[in-house]
């Protein structure tokens, strides 16, 4: 089971799927190391914690595929 599928919150899961489909593992690593993207937080109507959780899940799924 993928990390994204294990997310319970619908908005977090939707954003994580978007991240996985739209960004490479390298992009997600860089995002995870930097500050949260507040434009994405506002657009997706999620918290900073949800953003971090979604990026981490998308990155984990990319790394599991590699």
**What's the pLDDT at 1?**
67
Local confidence band at 62 (pLDDT 50, 70, 90 cut-offs)? very high
Instruction: Give per-residue burial for 37-65: e unless 16+ CB within 10 Å, then b.
Output: eeebbeebebeeebbbbbbbbbbbbbeee
Indicate whether 58 pLDDT > 90: yes
The DSSP annotation for 9-65 comes to SHHHHHHHHHHHHHS-HHHHHHHHHS---HHHHHHHT--HHHHHHHHHHHHHHHHHH
Condensed to tens digits (0 to 9), the pLDDT of residues 9-51 reads 999 999 999 999 999 999 999 999 999 999 999 999 999 999 9
């Amino acid at each position: 089971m993928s990390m994204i599928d294990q997310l319970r919150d619908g908005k977090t899961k939707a954003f994580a799927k978007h991240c996985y489909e739209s960004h490479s593992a390298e992009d997600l690593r860089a995002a995870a190391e930097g500050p949260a993207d507040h434009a994405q937080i506002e657009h997706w109507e999620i918290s900073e914690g949800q953003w971090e959780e979604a990026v981490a899940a998308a990155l984990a799924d990319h790394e599991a595929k590699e």
